[in-house]
Amino acid sequence: MTIRVLVVDDSGFFRRRVSDIINSDGRMEVVGVASNGREAIEQNELLKPDVVTMDYEMPVMDGITAVKNIMLQRPVPVLMFSSLTFEGARVTLDALDAGALDFLPKNFEDIATDSAQIKRLLTDKIAGVARNQTRVSKPIATKSTIKSDLSKTELIIIGTSTGGPAALQVLFKALPATFKTPIIIVQHMPGSFTPAFAERLNNISPLAIKEAVNGDVIKSGHVYVAPGGMQLMVDRRNGGSIHIRESDPRVNYRPSVDIAFASAAKHYGANVLGVVLTGMGADGREGARLLKEAKSHIWAQDEESSIIFGMPMAVIKEGLSDEILALTNIAGRLASDVG
Positions marked active-site = 161, 188, 283
Contact in structure between 265 and 296 (CB atoms under 8 Å)? yes
Closest CA to 14 of 28, 37, 34, 29: 34
Three-state helix/strand/coil letters over the chain: CCEEEEEECCCHHHHHHHHHHHHCCCCEEEEEEECCHHHHHHHHHHHCCCEEEECCCCCCCCHHHHHHHHHHHCCCCEEEEECCCHHHHHHHHHHHHHCCCEEEECCHHHCCCCHHHHHHHHHHHHHHHHCCCCCCCCCCCCCCCCCCCCCCCCEEEEEECCCHHHHHHHHHHHCCCCCCCCEEEEECCCCCCHHHHHHHHHHHCCCEEEECCCCCECCCCEEEECCCCEEEEEECHHHCEEEEEECCCCCCCCCCHHHHHHHHHHHHCCCEEEEECCCCCCCCHHHHHHHHHCCCEEEEECCCCCCCCHHHHHHHHCCCCCEEECHHHHHHHHHHHCC
Contact in structure between 255 and 232 (CB atoms under 8 Å)? yes
Contact in structure between 10 and 60 (CB atoms under 8 Å)? no
